[in-house]
Structure 1
Amino acid sequence: MNIVSSNQLLQSHTYLMAEDNPADAELVREMLEQAFDGDCALVCVGRFCDINTALKNHHFEALILDMNLPDRSGIKNVMELGEDYPDLPIIVLTGQDDQALAVESLKRGAQDYLSKNQVTPEILARSLRYAQERKNIELKLRKALDDSADRNQQLEKMARYDFLTSLPNRSYFDSVANRTLRSALRTNKLVALLYFDINNFKKINDSFGHAAGDGLLREVADRLKVTVRESDFVARLGGDEFVLITDLLDEKQEVYRLVNRLLEAFEKPVQIDIHQIQCSISIGVAFYPDAKTLELLMKQADCAMYEAKEKRHVPVCFFTQQMESIYTRNMEIESNIKEGLKLNEFNVYYQQIVSLENPAMFQAEALLRWHSSHLGMVSPAEFIPVVENSPLINQLTTVVLRYTSRLIQSLNDLSINIERIKINVTASQIASLPFCKQFMDWLEKLGIPPDLICLELTEREMVKNASICRSQIDIMRRAGVYFALDDFGTGYSSITHLLEVPIDYLKLDRSLIDRIDLNERNQALVAGIIEMAHRLNLKVIAEGIECEREFEIIKQLGCDQYQGYYFARPMPIDELICQYLRALKEKVG
């Protein structure tokens, strides 16, 4: 058992964790440190039998429990701990992303269920706080229900309403909404569904604290209650997301007045303690029977809401035929990717990267290609965003690694020296706790030396999950893997990102390179970036070089490596090696 000092246990927040994987335990410790600004302590035990010992010796605010421990596993662990320690909030944190297991855990006494694939410092901190609130409410309700004659009524309220805002919860909403849709079908009427959330809620949370964030959610709920009509039904889905389904409508235009009232309700700032917070919402609207089911109606309204967020100056967006075609295309892609993986439809092309400093050292970037038997050629720009937050993204990464293993073996057989193969990954992968261990296991299984691999992340993606990406990158770099920040200079650029996130390469976005021979401002900007990167001990790669004039300018500015159609197009392994050998012969000749 990892015991912290008595001084540490005097911190404001003290938690117990049952986890037999030291790497996972360390990541949780780092997330807690970040979430509570160091004002916390964590005791970690690796076996179920050690939990009792720890609980007898110290008081803990909550237990973070891995479902699978070496000496005991399964739902019975939650049941037994709930019976033995009825006052202890329990959060199940596991690598199993299993909805049925999550529901069963909550039924058997856990206050929350988190997946290691999705947990972040903010989510963990909020879960711990809510787990304690739920446990306190549970204990108070238990006591009240023991003494009260309205036991059934209280249980029903607890099952139907959100404890923080007192609005109906997702389960209650689904029941009422489906009933409304059935009524619309019988009467040949319309129904509108409005999906909305609070703009910049994370920033508000970070700036004013979680207590203020909770106060804001309660105030939003109160404003909604007095704004919507009695015939409308509004609920909180979770986090800062809310949903409203209208009563039966004769025409779509009837929803306009409701939308305007909602926007007006948030024109005035919200007063939370001493803070005055300017709060706004983005709304997505979809209609039944354009969408035939509640599930599709929710997806369409959610899609419209994110379109409104993208536009920023338009707080409301109605789901359109154009959005529907994009949505349908995404659904087609998602449904065909699994079959594509089974049928080995994915291929990997490689585009060579040139280094004038080490011209004999082979470098290339791996680029996925998909020729679907149903959809034809599908661009990575289409299929990667569809699957980047699903387990399928890891399967695509393993495809790239298998091809890369073949490439490395072929190059070794020809005694060609390899500097590095660059592979694109998403920030959602790097931010997933199990990913770095999985990735290192894949490398070992395929016999790929870690120092031959450089993982590329786009700056835009990395910024979304900067803190947890940083900790994961640190672990993988210590194991030998290199990292590159891709698309630098596309509008998300910040010197802070370069200082905070440990990387080895900086890739200039192709927009900076395009016609750089004719653009002196771009030349000055690129020269400054290269100088700054070199002072930070980073190598700079220019991608998208199309002609000799661009290459000559970039070379004069001091760039380290070059990539683009001027040197080579992406090509399959065999063609790549043949071209590389021809180029070597020409140089020798």
Structure 2
Amino acid sequence: MYLRQREGLSDIFLMAEDNPADAELVTEMLRQAFDSRYTIVCVDCFSKVMEALADGTFQALILDMNLPDQSGIDNIAQLGAYYPNLPIVILTGQDDLNSAIDALQSGAQDYLSKNHVTPEILARSLRYAQERKYIEQQLKKALDDAAYRNIQLETQAKYDPLTRLPNRTYFHDAANRVLHRAMRLVKQVALLYFDLNGFKKVNDAYGHLIGDKLLQQISIRLTDVVRENDFLARLGGDEFVVITDVLDSKQEIYPLVKRIQGQFDHVFEIDAHQIVIRPAIGVAFFPEADSLDLLIKQADSAMYEAKEDVINPVCFYTDQLAAQFARTQKIEVELGRALTRGELTSRFQPVIDTAQTDRILVEALMRWYSPKLGWISPNEFIPVAEFTPAINEITRQAVKDAAGFYNALIHLQDKIDKIAINVCASQLSSRYFCRLFLQWLEEFALPKDKICLELTERQIVENADTCRDQITLLQQHGIQIALDDFGSGYSSITHLLDLPLNILKLDRKLLDRIDQNERNQALTAGIIEMASRLNMKVVAEGIERPEEYKVAVELGCHYLQGFGIAKPLSIDEVAVFYHRAQSD
């Protein structure tokens, strides 16, 4: 058991988590969510939970479903029997709707997946858990009126306390009844899954109270436009869902989509604030998806596709998306096996230093050949791994391969300048990951000053606040940080001022045919000048033609990389490449 104590605080939480890494991540999320104003007691088994509750009073319990000495739904029931006034938030790696429903029905106030939780979601969940438990306590006081008590308890079980819309549990029950009826009648059903683009910015700009009032207003507007037999529910956060009554044809859904969109054409006026916000809507159909779980997943996938369309953010689940979804599922299954079987290996793409061509710089690029699925692009498996424990295992493999590269070229070690390793912003936002990464460098005897970590521009811009401290920590150990794909559409000059970066890697679109595009030349020259004034180096990526190489050098790029120079190579091939380069 350990205690995280903060000064002058009233929020005291108990967390049951036997994985030290997950415990550290949750602690960091609490720090961000409550601005360090909290106390947390962490235990690693269920027996210690009972001991801690016997000794102290806590505002809420954050409970992992799988503890080494006792696991499952019975834990919630036992806690409820001994400590009926304790709010419980389940935080588990089981991303399963049925498990969530079982947990809520057994007495938990909320159910969160470790794969999708954020500081904002965790803070909101803890706040609402306390609110829901308080409501439950008040209801239990009405023992003299059994009929009133039963009605209120049923309302609490089925309806969201903020918006008064049906909640996830009620939606699940109602949706299954609709699907059974559609199956019996040989009809179709549509599921609309949507969230609010920019809702986090509303909370950040105006506070959670305004965000809550916005959700309440949206719920009222949506209630006015769904059909009498359609079922509208709030799943949590800013996520809403509508499951229609049975349909004769898919085209019947279009007027409903239009009506929902129309409710966001008017400004929301809240406490003298005028807020403009729009939903991204994903639509899937039964019986193409033959279960409620699959229907939700398909609509959710379509919703994220809809977010890419700024003008009309609506997407109907297509055959192409279905194929992509099926492949993603296979990749997720095979990825865990691939790590244990050693199927992932690194290739190293040379990077030319235009000032010192004898210096050795490479980027370690992970490659995966699956005996079952064939060659799988990093663009496919990295997004799948990013929010699972597999991403850290992949990074550890990259560090191990980089150490193998460094030690294999022992006769050239004095020439090795940097080995770049790609990481995700979700990793770099965690102080635990930074410590873990430094441990890996020690484990494989890889000098820290030989390492450069690369993140894509979109990732780091979206997570700038949480990444900043960890970037500084790594740089204190001599590790450089590179911003990849700069100029790909997410650029903000202010981020270059806010983030302590060492290297900018220009998006390959800027370099494509740059010898024939004077506007790209002017933009690239400006970026290089700006980066130099900020003490940053610039890498020109995607060099494929001699003409592009020549112009990039003339414009002042410090480093060059691309298939026109060398493709990703094995260690032996890298040694041959640099031997030839030095001979030339």
| TM tier relative to shorter chain | 0.7 to 0.9
Asked if 1:529 corresponds to 2:545, the answer is no
Asked if 1:296 corresponds to 2:294, the answer is yes
Asked if 1:239 corresponds to 2:241, the answer is no
Equivalence for 1:158: 156
Alpha-carbon displacement from aligned partner over 1:423-454 (angstroms, at most 9, x marks no partner): 11222232356433333333333332333221
Q: Which amino acid in the other structure matches residue 510 of structure 2?
A: L
SS of match in other structure, 1:144: coil
- Please, which runs of 5 or more residues in structure 1 have no aligned partner? none
Equivalence for 2:324: 326
Equivalence for 1:42: 38
**In structure 1, which of residues 271, 274, 290 is the aligned counterpart of residue 272 of structure 2?**
274
Deviation at residue 481 of structure 1 after TM alignment: 2.9
| Cα distance in 2, alignment partners of residues 529 and 338 from structure 1 | 41
Cα pair distance change 1:219/1:533, threshold 3 Å: same
Give the alignment's TM-score, normalised by structure 1: 0.84
SS of match in other structure, 2:567: coil
| Cα distance in 2, alignment partners of residues 195 and 424 from structure 1 | 33
Alpha-carbon displacement from aligned partner over 1:56-95 (angstroms, at most 9, x marks no partner): 8xxx8x4576879xxx9989999999889876656677xx
Q: How many pairs are equivalent? A: 572
RMSD of Structure 2 on Structure 1 (CA): 3.7
Deviation at residue 19 of structure 1 after TM alignment: 9.8
Aligned ranges 1:52-451 → 2 under 5 Å: 62=59, 97-98=93-94, 111-112=109-110, 119-145=117-143, 148-412=146-410, 415-432=413-430, 434-451=432-449
Task: Answer whether contact 2:455 2:482 (CA < 8 A) is retained.
Answer: yes
Alpha-carbon displacement from aligned partner over 1:129-179 (angstroms, at most 9, x marks no partner): 323322322322232357644444433332222221122222221222122
Equivalence for 1:540: 538
Cα pair distance change 1:259/1:92, threshold 3 Å: closer
Task: Answer whether contact 2:195 2:238 (CA < 8 A) is retained.
Answer: yes
| Cα distance in 1, alignment partners of residues 106 and 252 from structure 2 | 45
Cα pair distance change 1:64/1:563, threshold 3 Å: farther
Equivalence for 1:501: 499
| Cα distance in 1, alignment partners of residues 189 and 90 from structure 2 | 39
Deviation at residue 571 of structure 1 after TM alignment: 1.1
**In structure 2, which of residues 474, 479, 484 is the aligned counterpart of residue 486 of structure 1?**
484
Q: Which amino acid in the other structure matches residue 478 of structure 1?
A: Q
Task: Answer whether contact 1:24 1:433 (CA < 8 A) is retained.
Answer: no
Identity %: 51
Alpha-carbon displacement from aligned partner over 1:483-526 (angstroms, at most 9, x marks no partner): 11001111111111112222221111111222223333222222
| Cα distance in 1, alignment partners of residues 146 and 30 from structure 2 | 39
| Cα distance in 2, alignment partners of residues 186 and 108 from structure 1 | 32
Alpha-carbon displacement from aligned partner over 1:166-219 (angstroms, at most 9, x marks no partner): 222222212221222122222211111111222321122222221111111112
Task: Answer whether contact 1:369 1:379 (CA < 8 A) is retained.
Answer: yes
Q: Which amino acid in the other structure matches residue 161 of structure 1?
A: Y
Cα pair distance change 1:222/1:216, threshold 3 Å: same
Equivalence for 2:549: 551
Task: Answer whether contact 1:116 1:432 (CA < 8 A) is retained.
Answer: no
Cα pair distance change 1:445/1:296, threshold 3 Å: same
Q: Which amino acid in the other structure matches residue 130 of structure 2?
A: Q
Task: Answer whether contact 1:117 1:433 (CA < 8 A) is retained.
Answer: no
Deviation at residue 479 of structure 1 after TM alignment: 3.9
Q: Which amino acid in the other structure matches residue 508 of structure 1?
A: L
Task: Answer whether contact 1:145 1:154 (CA < 8 A) is retained.
Answer: no
Cα pair distance change 1:85/1:477, threshold 3 Å: farther
Alpha-carbon displacement from aligned partner over 1:30-68 (angstroms, at most 9, x marks no partner): 7667656x6x63346677799789968xxx8x4576879
| Cα distance in 2, alignment partners of residues 15 and 572 from structure 1 | 53
Q: Which amino acid in the other structure matches residue 426 of structure 1?
A: C
Give the alignment's TM-score, normalised by structure 2: 0.85
Deviation at residue 259 of structure 1 after TM alignment: 2.2
| Cα distance in 1, alignment partners of residues 412 and 445 from structure 2 | 17
Alpha-carbon displacement from aligned partner over 1:93-138 (angstroms, at most 9, x marks no partner): 7xx6356998898788765566776554423432343233223223
Q: Which moved more, 1:552-561 or 1:176-185?
A: 552-561
SS of match in other structure, 2:141: helix
Cα pair distance change 1:402/1:172, threshold 3 Å: same
| Cα distance in 2, alignment partners of residues 116 and 477 from structure 1 | 29
SS of match in other structure, 1:353: strand
| Cα distance in 2, alignment partners of residues 110 and 413 from structure 1 | 61
